[in-house]
Structure 1
Amino acid sequence: MEHIISLQDFPDISLLFGTQNCNIKLMKKKFNVDILARDNLKILGDAHSIECVTSVVEQVKNKILAKGNISQKEIDSIIEKHLPQEEKEKPPVEESEYFPISPRTLGQKNYLSAMKKNDIVFAIGPAGTGKTHLAVAMALDALRKNVVRKLILVRPAVEAGEKLGFLPGDFQAKVNPYLRPLYDSLYDLGDYTRVKKYMEKNIIEVAPLAYMRGRTLENAFIILDEAQNTTSGQMRMFLTRMGLHSKTVVTGDRTQVDLPPGQVSGLVEAERILQGVRGIEFAHLTQNDIVRHRLVQRIVDAYEKKSQNSHH
């Protein structure tokens, strides 16, 4: 059989096709069909397989229309749901409604293990290693399972070589650019409507680090992101906010410090001071754990080489 799916009103074809047409290739393989992909999809195969591919395309389209984007994990999940039972892959070791918490590298596996076993975990490593993503996934899962009652994500408001003081609006409007990546992680991993409802009820809180002063955070999963940009005092303040039945994850990259010259990073100092403290574990991720676009790994490697050469 042959069937044509029009993509004229599809919001973003590149998201459906994937990097180097990876989603089209995956559907061809999984549904045993031939797909010619241009301005439309020409599908050759049996009736049931064509119906499955059509349904996948429709669901991907609806997801993009609902939230303006779709992650690769969501597309994989939609394809997986349409497979015949015998074709379905075994679920990941620990399945979450939001995110299959399945490590893709050895470093990520050790990081997940550290979060399960310890109340305070420091994840240190370069961009693209999943430090924040995995922490948010674990936090959302803990919230869903009622292990915690609240999820708190914080970042220090430090300019990354840019001055944001001139931006219009109140304090909240000025700090929002710093907090945007945390919102992105939440909406990428969680159901958009539910996450929004949780935020309105203050079950999920995204805030600049300054908002944590003087508080005691109980029954909460607390994530401090971009911790390399905390001062020594800020790090100490943050770590001592932790109350009963809480878990804390601190993420950071020592090579991306945006503090004024001469100021010691609270992350670097904490790593030195807290090594060996019972209940605290340091998970170190490296270039080998980068799971973003393959070019990210090459970029990190290139900068790392330049840094090493300048020290010789």
Structure 2
Amino acid sequence: MTEATLTVSAPDELLQLFGPRDQHLRKLRQLFDVTITHRNGRVRIAGEDEGVSGAMRTLEKLLHQVQKQGAIGGEDVETAAVEEGASVEAKAKLKVSGGEDIAIQHAGRRIRPRTEGQAKYVDAIREFDLTFATGPAGCGKTYLAVATAVEALKAGQIRKIVLVRPAVEAGESLGFLPGDLRAKLNPYLRPLLDALGEMVDYDQARELMEQEVIEVIPLAYMRGRTLNDAFIILDEAQNTTIAQMKMFLTRMGERSKMVVSGDATQLDLPRGVTSGLKDAIRRLHRIKAIGMIRLTGEDIVRHRLVQRIVEAYEETENTGATPRSRRGGVRVIGGDLSGRSGGEETLDR
């Protein structure tokens, strides 16, 4: 058994080195098969000679990067570890399939990521001040972002949650709809309210909204604001224009966090209008201080049929062909799907 100690005197550097909730240290423990503990600025590594020396070199390299750049991400940790002797096989076996519980318990159950992609998404939200997430319906983009925001609010890390959605179907004006403002906005903001209702009791949510600790608003209402100590989530971001996306991103104030999520396949913008989400990802993807997550059909956690429906649409949209047959069928009794009468028939799924 070998031991080594690294001293880090600056608290801010220590926090960056360890990562959110010590995520970077957990990765190094797995990559080098060592134990890593810390107390009063002293990081102690224990294990076999090769693992301890590799982990020590990696921590020194990462500390230098923190001192130079001010921040590191999970990919930086993995890259530095492989460069300093961690095997590619060890990297492939990192235990990220399904993440730690988000610190929320509601209706007797704890909320947690359920796939590797979702775990990486939550890690990115915690690590970066700005995170972009794209993926199909049902993969948890909105749900996990709201859960992480509520977690941060309950932990006192922020003072306000702002949930935002473009009301593109009403041209952002909403003026022609009947009813008062609340009635007009409700159809467009309902998905965000539904996600919030999964985390917070109705009475508590209503009280927080009356106190404006939680706001659920259309994108147009963000104009002219600067939000400090806030967790801001933009849902359905594919339906923003370039100008709207720029306006939204520049609302971020001090000690705030933003999550921008959307599904590029569900575009409601007029033909010929470029999506602000696609444009922002193209412009900003090289900035290391911004998280970029792409979720897939494998991350869908709604009804088991949703994943198959998404796959079928993607297949026909990409090729223009009829979806390939799958084993199993749907029985139609007394007529086919067009309404014609007849006997029993089996349709391929």
TM-score after normalising by structure 1: 0.67
Q: Which runs of 5+ in 1 are unaligned?
A: 1-90
How many Å apart are 1:160 and its aligned residue?
Answer: 9.0
Deviation at 1:276, TM superposition (A): 1.6
Please identify, of 186-195 and 109-118, the stretch whose mean Cα deviation from structure 2 is larger. Answer: 186-195
Match of 1:221 in 2: 231
Report the residue type matching 2:242 in the other structure: S
Structure 1 equivalent of residue 301 of structure 2: 291
Question: What pairs with 1:46-65 in structure 2 (closer than 5 Å)?
Answer: none
Larger RCO, structures 1/2 (Cα 8 Å, 6+ apart): 1
Partner of 2:270: 260
Alignment of 1:1-312 (within 5 A): 93-98=101-106, 100-159=110-169, 167-310=177-320
Question: 8 Å contact 2:139–2:301 — kept in the other structure?
Answer: yes
Distance in 1 of aligned mates of 2:135 and 2:175: 29
Displacement after TM superposition at 1:195 (Å)? 1.1
Q: Which amino acid aligns with 1:100?
A: R
* Identity of matched residues, %: 58
Read off the aligned partner of 2:214 and give its amino acid letter.
I
Cα pair 1:107 1:285 within 8 Å, conserved: yes
Asked whether the 8 Å contact 1:92–1:101 carries over to 2, the reply is: no
3-state SS of paired residue (1:297): helix
Q: Is the 1:153–1:222 Cα contact (8 Å) retained in structure 2?
A: yes
Contact 1:92 1:100 in 2 (8 A): no
Q: What SS class does the counterpart of residue 293 from structure 2 fall into?
A: strand
Q: Contact 1:124 / 1:253 at 8 angstroms: preserved in 2?
A: yes
Paired residue total? 220
Q: Which amino acid aligns with 1:265?
A: S
Output the CA distance in 2 between the equivalents of 1:164 and 1:198: 25
Deviation of 1:174 after TM superposition, in Å, equals 1.9
Aligned to 2:42: none
One-letter amino acid matched to 1:239: L
Aligned-partner Cα distance in 2 for 1:164–1:150: 25
For residues 51-81 of structure 1, the C-alpha deviation after alignment (integer angstroms, 9 at most, x for no partner) is xxxxxxxxxxxxxxxxxxxxxxxxxxxxxxx
2:23 corresponds to: none
| Cα root mean square deviation, aligned | 2.1
1:283, CA displacement in angstroms? 0.7
CA contact (8 A) 1:101 1:138 kept: no
Q: What residue is the counterpart of 2:90 in the other structure?
A: none
Aligned partner letter, 1:133 = Y
Give the structure-2-normalised TM-score.
Answer: 0.60
Q: Indicate the SS of the match to 2:309.
A: helix
Measured after TM superposition, the shift of residue 94 of structure 1 is 4.2
- Name the CA shift for 1:177/1:94 in 2 (closer, same or farther; >3 Å): closer
* SS of 2:156 mapped into structure 1: coil
- Give the letter for the 1:303 counterpart: Y
